[in-house]
Amino acid sequence: MKIFVPLVLSVACIASAPAMANQITFGGDTGDGPGFERPGPGVIGSAYRYLSYAFTVSQAGIYTFTSTAMDFDNLTALYLGDATVVDAAHLLIYNDDSTDARHSGFDYSLAANTTYNFVTTAYSLGQSGVVSNSITGAGTISPFVSAVPEPETVAMLLAGMGTMWMKLRRRQKQQCQ
């Protein structure tokens, strides 16, 4: 009986412990990215430089998105789709300032195995700079990998096709003789 009580208590403590959150952190310079028409008020043109991160999650639930800009007023947005999708039709949510002009973020409910694109840009046209972003939630957060083949794969395919063509050509010459 003495062993049973501590065992039950330790199992109860483990079962009631909060689930560990998964987090992915990434960053870069928004000035290195392409331009687009950012969401929100005060949009002037379509040359807002941005940094994007396409990803999927393994478990549905509420995820927290945060961004810290080093020296400019940032804006974050979440789009449905891969890194090529940054248009108004796919916009899910955006936020300009969470605690101050250099911090932006939001919470959003994500579906499992769906591709999303987390975008960071400047609030004002012509501004850009270094940002540090994170996504936190219950499921595994994985980068989206497109189905574009690597250059080495394409080169191997072309080399194989070239070899087959040469063999076919040689066979045709032998049949003609």
Select the CATH number that applies to the domain covering 4-146 from these four: 1.10.10.10, 3.40.50.11540, 3.10.20.90, 2.60.120.380. Answer: 2.60.120.380
The low-confidence residues of the chain, meaning pLDDT below 50, are 1, 3-18
Q: Please tell me the number of Cα atoms within 13 Å of 96 on its side-chain side.
A: 10
d(CA 148, CA 30): 24
Per-residue pLDDT at 17: 43
Write down the H helix ranges in 17-134. none
Quote the pLDDT of residue 10: 42
Return the pLDDT at 39: 86
Cβ–Cβ < 8 Å for 78, 110: no
Q: Where exactly are the structural domains of the chain?
A: 4-146, 148-177
> Tell me: the pLDDT tens digits for 37-65?
888 877 877 789 999 999 999 999 999 99
pTM for this structure?
0.71
DSSP one-letter string for 127-171: ---EEEEEEEESS-EEE----PPPHHHHHHHHHHHHHHHHHHHHH
